[in-house]
Amino acid sequence: MIDRPAALVAADVRALVDELAAQPDPDAFQELISLSDHLGRALGASARLLAETGSWSQVASYAGTSKQTAWARWRR
């Protein structure tokens, strides 16, 4: 579990991603692509966990989309 508030962890992640993006380095670019894929999978896992403990309507509300769109995007 995270010992710090999610907003602080997210701020640290954003700063590190920005640091990678500011580098004119092909390796940094490839790492950003890898992180993008990882983040997509993490979003799906988080959405399914939220739906499991709440509902797809709640997931949709947090994501600013419809329940049907949230379910179609993250159900698996």
SS3 assignment, position 22: coil
pLDDT 10s digits, 14-73: 999 999 999 999 999 999 999 999 999 999 999 999 999 999 999 999 999 999 999 999
How far apart (Å, rounded) are the C-alpha atoms in residues 10 and 12?
5
Q: Which residues of 3-40 are buried (b: 16+ CB within 10 A; e: fewer)?
A: eeeeeeeeeeeeeeeeeeeeeeeeeeeeeeeeeeeeee
Distances (CA, A) of 5 to 46, 53, 58, 72, 74: 16, 20, 21, 29, 24
The structure's pTM equals 0.85
Give the per-residue pLDDT at 64: 98
